[in-house]
Every structure is written in C-alpha cells, then in structure tokens.
Structure 1
Amino acid sequence: MRWSLTEQARAGTDAVVVPAFADQLKHVPAADFVAACGFTGRPGEVLRLPGAAGGPAQVILGFGTAAALDDDTIRHATARLARAVRGFGRLGLALPAPDGRAPGPTAVRAAVEGFLLGGYRFTRHKSAPGGPSGPEHVDLLLPDGGGAAGLTALDEGRRLGAATLLARDLVNEPGQDLTPALFAERAAAVAADSGLRCEVWDEERITAERLGGLLAVARGSLRPPRLVKLTYRPDRPTGRYALIGKGVTFDAGGLSLKPSAEMLTMKADMAGAAAVLGAMSVLAGLNCGTQVDAWLPLTENMPNGDPVRIGDVLRMRGGRTVEVRNADAEGRLILADTLTLAGECRPDAMIDVATLTDAAPIALGRKIAAVMGTDDALVDRVREAAGRAGEPVWPLPLSDRYRWQLESPIADLVNYTIGNRHGTALLAGLFLREFVPPGVPWAHLDIQGTALCDAEDGEWVRGATGFGVRTLAALVREPFASPR
C-alpha cells in the first residue's frame, strides 16, 4: 500500500472519505439523505454514497462528537474504514478538523496506524484468500498538504503499523511453522533488514550460559531451544533499555498437560517475543536515541522426550534453585533466566512482555494489559507510553504480603502455588522479581488477555493483535532515569 499527503483528491481517485461528527451531521453532503439512511456519526460508522457522474464515490465516516475527538477515536474509525473500502484502488481520506483546526501530526499517525491495522488479514495458509483487497493507494487530504511534520507523522505511522503487523504475522503462524529455530531465523532476517546486531544461541551455548530454566522447559520438546539477542545502538546513545519477550512457540503444558480447548490458542504463547521483535524492527526508522538490547528465550513446552517432572529442582542462572510445582508455569522459568542475563548488562531499565497468566485478563478483561514492577516511575512511564500508543495497561501491586507463597521446603523458590487460585498474576510477578538484579528498575507486562482478539473491533481483527509493539517503541525513544 502506498501513501501520500495532498490537499485535494488526485485524478483517478475511486472514493473520497468525508469525516462526519455526530453533533454536526447537517454539514455533511446530502445531509437529509444521510440522516434518512440512519447514519448517526458514531465512531467508525461508514456510509457509502455514489458520486456524481464520472466522479469518485463518497464515503461518510463517523468520528463521534467533535468535543470527544482524540487519537484513539481516529485510530478506531480509520480501522473500521479500512474494512469497508476494500475493492477501491485509490482512496482520498480527509481527516476530521474540529473547529476548523487542521489535523496535527499525532492525528495523522493515528489515522495511518488505524487503517493499516484494521485492514490486516492473515491469509498465508488459505488456498484462496477470498474477498476484495486494497486500496492500493491512500491520499491523506490535509488543508495545508501536511508539511514536513505531516510527512514525518505519516512515515512513523507506516513504520509502526508495519511493525505491529510483523508481530501479528508471527503470532498467527501455526506452531509447526514457527519452531524455536525458525523463529530465530526470522529474527535474524528482521535484524539484517533493520540495522540490528543479532546473536542466536543454540542449545550448546544456552547450556554453557547456565540457563537452567530455559533448558528444563525445552527438555520435553523434540525441537531444541534458542535464545536470540538483538541490539540497537545509535551513534551517541542517551540511555540503555533491556526488553525481554517470552517466546514459547507452542505450549502444551508439559507434563501438566492442558485440555485441548485451552491448547487451541497456545501457538500464541510467544506473543511477548513477537512484540519485542516488532518494536526492535522500527527503532532505526524512528531515529531512536537510546540503546536497546532485546532478549528472546525461545522454546516449546511439550510432554515428549524427557520433560521436567513435578518436584524437580532447577538451578537457574545466578545460582537460585526452583522447585517445579506446575510444568505449565513455564513462562516464568524461561523469563527468570533471561531477566538475570539482561540485568548483568546494567541497563537503565528492564521491561519484559509475556502471555503469562489467565488471572490478568480475569481482573482486567481482554482490552487492558497488566503492568507491575519495582519502580513506580518506570511503571508510570509504561502507562503513559501505552496510552499514547492506544494500548492501555493498568498497574497491579507486587505486595510482599504474598511472598511467603513462593517458599519451598527443598529449594529457594517454587514456580507455582498449588491449591491457590487467588492473586496468581501477582505471584507470577513476585517470582520474576526474584531474578531482577538489585538497583535495576523493572516492569512486567502481562499481555495474556490482549494478545489475541475473538472478533473485529476497531484496529483489532480476529487473531493476533500485536499488542505491545507500539507501547515499547514509544517507551524506549526517551531515556529513563529513576528518581530513586
């Protein structure tokens, strides 16, 4: 899809989008007819009208009330528009201008993101994709042509949209087509295209680095694990972040085997790693000024081979021991090793992203991810970045009142508390905190509820959402210094 900025629709345009506010419908073309059709102007509502003889069709697009317009509304509306205008070759898209004010750069970026995300379809495994595609070219119609700021915002929107779609593609792939080794190959290819340094550790290197949690989880699979390290380093970095993404490419639960219904979506248990890779892919294009190191532990969690047994004691990197009480609580085991590893580089802040617990969406639903951490300033920064990205998160506490539940009679920790179904998202966070080096600010994003979507809803379509890519990209563009 090609994009451009212009003041007026170009020759050959098939349809022009006319923005409409719910409280100003009298200003839209053919207002009486539009009202008679039942059009109310709610965000994302679309009404297609024929154009004049030989001219482009008109598409009326609702944006709600003028006073309530924000970037999230624009992103949501243009996402729904993308699904309604398939079949047009060239589209002229005018953005809303409340009180006559020209749309700003953030509105331009949100519109491009929304359109790209809303029009996404994963068809790689279909014999015939079916249905119309397109548009092939979108002209954003801005009163002043957008200027330099508009062009920058357009480019950022395209890059962030593409990075999110990269993550969606990875999460949507079946486990047979995205094994740990194949994921590592994809990551290396993305790194080569994105100006990143890339290291891929095989099982021998992982063993030498004493990543006991990752090795234990991988024992049950016939496919060996990988660990990918990606580094983005600008010429004069102003800070340093570490991003860690859980990469379980298929989670059967190990010996704690999942029921079939729960296993159906477990190809998506690497959504954290996909989000981190997507964010890393766009940093050079956004001229990010900080250094960012990414760590992706990749494995399957299967009951084949020599799976870890309930009651086994693992020795993690750094020497801590963990008694395995539940083989399906594997994500925290591979993240624990990786948090230790990443912390040894002494970044200014560490953020991990993981589809970790069902308790997070039980508390917050399927639209809001959980965030917790050791540094309030960092958690606040994550929330602010997520808000700007249109990927809301909400903080959960890490209370020491629950720390005793991680105690083991034979090891330093247990990975799961049997018989307790309360506060399990917090217990997972408390477990991870044990492996964060002292003095390194850390935040944990539990995206279990937001990684997949059951139906079309604004910029989300059925399947993978790519949640977290834009949040991470927004977060690491500015250095972090803890006030503590």
Structure 2
Amino acid sequence: MQYFVTNDNPVTIATDCLVVAIHEDGQMSPTAQALDAASEGSLSRIINRGDFAAKPGQVLLLNDLPGITSPRVLLAGFGKAGKTTENDFNSTAIAVSKWLNDSACVDAVSFATEVSINGRSAGWLVRQTVINNEIALYRYSQTKSQVAEIKKPLAKLTVACADASPAEAETETKTGQAIGRGMNLARELGNLPGNICTPIYLADQALKMEKQFDDLAVDVLDEDDIAELSMGAFLSVSRGSRQPARLITLNYGGGGDSKPVVLVGKGLTFDAGGISLKPSQGMDEMKYDMCGAASVLGTIQAVAELQLPINVVGVIPSSENLPDGDANKPGDIVTSMAGKTIEILNTDAEGRLLLCDALTYSERFNPDTVIDIATLTGAIIVALGNNATGLMSNNEALATDLLKAGNDSFDRAWQLPLWDDYQKQLDSNFADIANVGGKEAGSVTAACFLSRFTEKFKWAHLDIAGTAWNSGKEKGATGRPVPLLMQYLLNRLEN
C-alpha cells in the first residue's frame, strides 16, 4: 500500500474516488461543500432527501457528479457535528477502507481528516486514517485453502493535510503505516494456530526481522542455554510440552549509548492450563496467550521501520503449557533465576513463571525502563473488559507516561494499585512466594508477584488479556497495545 498527502483542489483531483465527511445534521465538511458547489447542489439534494443519515460507520457512493473530475464521491458519516468521538472516527475510517478495497477503486483520496474531534490535532487524524486503513485491509489467510480474491484491491491512498502542514502530514503518514504494519504483524501471529505458531516459529519470525533491518540484532537461546541461566521457573512450564522453549532477544540499537527500554512479552503459544486444566469451552482461543510477545515483535518492527533514534530491547520467553507426566503439579516448588523459590499452587498461573525469569534476565541490559506485556489474568477482563489495558507500576512517573501514551494514541490503559497490602496474599508456608494469591484482586496480585523480580529497575506491567483479543463473531487478535507502546517511545523522543 502506498500513501501520499495532498493539499490539491478536490474538484479537479484525478482519482478513482474522493472521500468526504458528512454529519448527521446535514453539515458538510469544507471539501464536501466545495464538491456540492461544483456539482450544482448534488450532495445537498441527496442529504435533504434523507438518503444519507451520516451516522458513524455509514457510507454512500455517488457516481459521475457534474463538474467533478473524480468519477466517484464517497460520503462518509461521522455522526453529529462537534460531537464526533475517536470511536466514531475509527469505525467510519475502517468502513471507508473496506468499501474502497472491495470496490473497483485502485486509488482514492480521503478528506475525512477535516473532521473535528475535541482534543485531537489534524496530524492525529492523518495518522489514525492510515492506521485504520492498514487494520481494515488486513486479511487472515495463511491456513485457508481458498481465499476470496479481490480483483482490484486498493493500492494507493492519499490523505488530505487539512490543518496539518505537508511536512507534519507526511511524518504522520509514515508513522501510521509503521504502527499499522506492526499491529498487523501482531494480529497475524496471534491468529495463527498453536500447531504452527510455536516457540520456534516465534524465534524464526524474529530472525527474519533481523535480516530486514540493519540496526536489529536477534539472539535465540534453547533449553540448554536457558538451563545454564538457572531459569527454573521458566523451564518448569515447558516441561509438559513436546515443543521446546525459546528465549528470544531482539536488540534494536538506534540510540547510541543511551540506556534501552526493555519490552518483555509473554510468549505462551498455547495455554491449556497444564495439570490445572482449563475448561474445554473457549480453549481454542488460548493460542492468543502469546499476544504479549506478538506486540513486542510488532512494536520493534515499527521502531526499526521508522529508524527511531532510540535503543529498544525485546525479551520474549516462549513456551507451551500443557498437561503431561512431567508437567508442573500443584504444590511443586521451583527456583527462579533470581534464586527465589516459588510454590506452584495453580499451574494455569504459568505466565508469571516465564516473566519472572525474563524480568531478571532484563537486568543485564542495564535498562532505563522495563515494561512487560502479557495476557496474564482473566481477572483483568472482569475488571476492565476489552476497552482498557490494565497498568501497574513501581514508578508513578512511568505509569503517568504510559497513561498519557494510551490517551495520545487512543489505545488506553487504566492504572490499578500495586500496594504492599496485597503482597501478603502471596505468602507460602513452603517457599519464598506462591504463584497465586487467591480470587481477590487477581490482576493486582499477579503484578505483585512480578514486582518481586523488579526491585533493581523502573518497571511497569501491562495486562492485555482483555484488549489483545476479540471473542465472538469478530474473533481474532487486535494488535493492541502496539499503538500505546509506540506512542510511549515516540513521546520519550520528544521529551
């Protein structure tokens, strides 16, 4: 897909389709007004007849309007004027892109960036238009024997600068494309079945990325290497699987001698719960338990594509969690890389066993900041649903920065407490710490467990169990929180 920006006169632009914004009250964007005047009121007549309600997500095609060079004008609804929300804009932008891709339009010009959203700049609208286009055009096909062919897919999208300068619009276009591609990489990995997307497969994807980008170095450790590091917690999870574990490290060095941001992504390529077996209903979706790892890969791909002047390290502990004669048993005690012993009360709380060793491993990079990303608890879905990512941190400034990045990107997070009051729930009579703390505050106690391994650095935990995946009719990975992570890194460069 090619992206361009324009300030040209919409009446005379030669393109397959023009996209213009309309509101529920019949109010037209400046470009829609210009097209209406050039076509002797053609848009007004359609709107006044009530043929287009302009609700968010609605589109209407007009063909061969007089006085306009483009043979097609697509009306895009954005709800009530002055009250368009980010969700309204995203739903309409995605609907527009899907329509364009399914039509005979090979190239299009969108003036939807003229919409006004409270608190959002024209540059944000340009970036979001591109991200939504990438999201909309993604198709999962890798394991399908037949895929419907799109004879003339959309190949070129030009975005109007609106109130943004051409230079700003160009930058936001490139940023949006990189973020969208990163999200789609994360989505593809999350959607792949567990018999394809194994720990070795994830490692291979990282190695392929290494060949694409000069500033990226990848290291993959096998189980013997992991054992030499005394990662007893991590390896205890993989014992029940025939798929060998891998510890994957991606080191992007664009920032000279500056300390890196370390992103630690949970890479459970399938989670049956181990001996503490999950219910069969919905277990097929447990292939998405590696979406933390997928988001790290997607973020680093976007960083490398944009050649950002920053150092970022991705650490991905990857394994399966299956029942087996050699699998963890409730009551087992394992020793972590940090030397702390852990009583395993529930083998389905395995993600924290991978992460605790990966967090300890992160110390060797002398990090400025460590952020782990994990589909860690069902409790976060109960607490926040699929709208907000759960955020907990041992540093309030870091938490504030991540919350801001979530709001800036509209990939939002919500902070939960990480108080010492919750730590006692992890007390064990037989080990230094138990791996679960009971039913109460499950997401918080999971983060409290991880915090025991983060005393030497500034750290935040993102629980994405609710935001990384959609269930039901639209089942599939979302690519979140790649936008949040990218915005956090971009904000660091501005400060």
TM-score (norm 2): 0.89
Q: Does 1:229 align with 2:231?
A: no
Compute the displacement of 1:118 (Å). 2.3
The residue aligned with 1:130 is: 148
Q: Name the CA distance, whole Å, in 1 between partners of 2:255 and 2:439.
A: 49
Could you tell me how far apart the structure 1 residues matched to 2:164 and 2:367 are?
42
Residues 1:173 and 2:175 aligned together: no
Shift of 1:303: 1.1
Counterparts of 1:478 and 1:237 in 2: how far apart (Å)? 19
The residue that corresponds to 1:259 in the other structure is 279
Indicate the residue corresponding to 2:90 in structure 1: 75
Q: Which moved more, 1:319-328 or 1:56-65?
A: 56-65
- Supply the distance in 1 between the matched residues of 2:115 and 2:243 (Cα, whole angstroms): 56
Contact kept in structure 2, 1:326 and 1:416, CA below 8 Å: yes
1:402 alignment partner in structure 2: 422
For residue 410 of structure 1, report the CA deviation from its aligned partner: 0.8
Identify if the C-alpha distance between structure 1 residues 35 and 249 changes in structure 2 by more than 3 Å, giving closer, same or farther: farther
Q: Pick closer, same or farther for the CA change 1:478–1:240 going to 2, 3 Å.
A: farther
Q: Any idea what SS the aligned residue of 2:56 has?
A: coil
CA distance in 2, matches of 1:73, 1:290: 34
Counterpart check, 1:443 vs 2:456: no
Shift of 1:425: 0.7
1:297 and 2:344 equivalent? no
| Alignment pair present for 1:45 and 2:58 | yes
* Residues 1:325 and 2:345 aligned together: yes
* Residues 366, 40 of structure 1: alpha-carbon distance in 2 compared, 3 angstrom cutoff: same
Aligned-residue offset at 1:70: 6.2
**Aligned AA for 2:171?**
T
TM-score between both structures, scaled by the size of structure 1 = 0.91
Q: Distance in 2 between matches of 1:97 and 1:25?
A: 12
CA-atom RMSD, angstroms? 2.5
Opposite residue 39 of structure 1, the aligned amino acid is F
Structure 2 residue aligned with 1:91, among 87, 108, 127?
Answer: 108
Higher helix share: 2
* Partners of 1:305 and 1:205 in 2: CA distance: 23
Q: More displaced, 384-393 or 14-23?
A: 14-23
CA offsets per residue over residues 192-230 of structure 1, 9 Å max, x none?
A: 213311100011100001111110000000011000011
Answer whether contact 2:264 2:358 (CA < 8 A) is retained: yes
Cα pair distance change 1:78/1:43, threshold 3 Å: same
Give percent identity, aligned residues only: 33
Are the aligned partners of 1:233 and 1:290 in contact in 2 as well (CA < 8 Å)? yes
Aligned to 2:388: 368
The residue correspondences of 1:348-427 to structure 2 (distance < 5 A) are 348-417=368-437, 420-427=438-445
> 1:103-182 residue pairs with structure 2 within 5 A?
104-130=122-148, 132=150, 134-142=153-161, 147-182=166-201
Q: Kindly state the Cα deviation for residue 462 of structure 1 after the two structures are TM-superposed.
A: 4.1
Q: Secondary structure at the match of 1:282?
A: helix
Unaligned runs of 5+ in 2: 37-41
The residue number in structure 1 matching 2:39 is none
Aligned length: 472
Deviations 1:93-134 (A, max 9, x none): 1134258xx973222111111111123221222222226462
Per the TM alignment, residue 76 of structure 1 is displaced from its structure 2 partner at its CA by: 3.5
Q: Distance in 2 between matches of 1:55 and 1:82?
A: 17
Greater relative contact order: 1 or 2 (C-alpha under 8 angstroms, separation 6 or more)?
1
Task: Please state how far the C-alpha of 1:139 moved relative to its aligned partner.
Answer: 2.0
Who is 2:481 aligned against?
468
Q: 1:21 aligns with which of 20, 23, 35?
A: 23
**How many angstroms does 1:234 deviate by?**
1.7
Structure 2 CA distance for aligned equivalents of residues 361 and 56 of structure 1: 47
Tell me, yes or no, if the aligned pair for 2:21 and 2:115 is still in contact at 8 Å. Answer: no
* Unmatched runs of 5 consecutive residues or more in structure 1: none
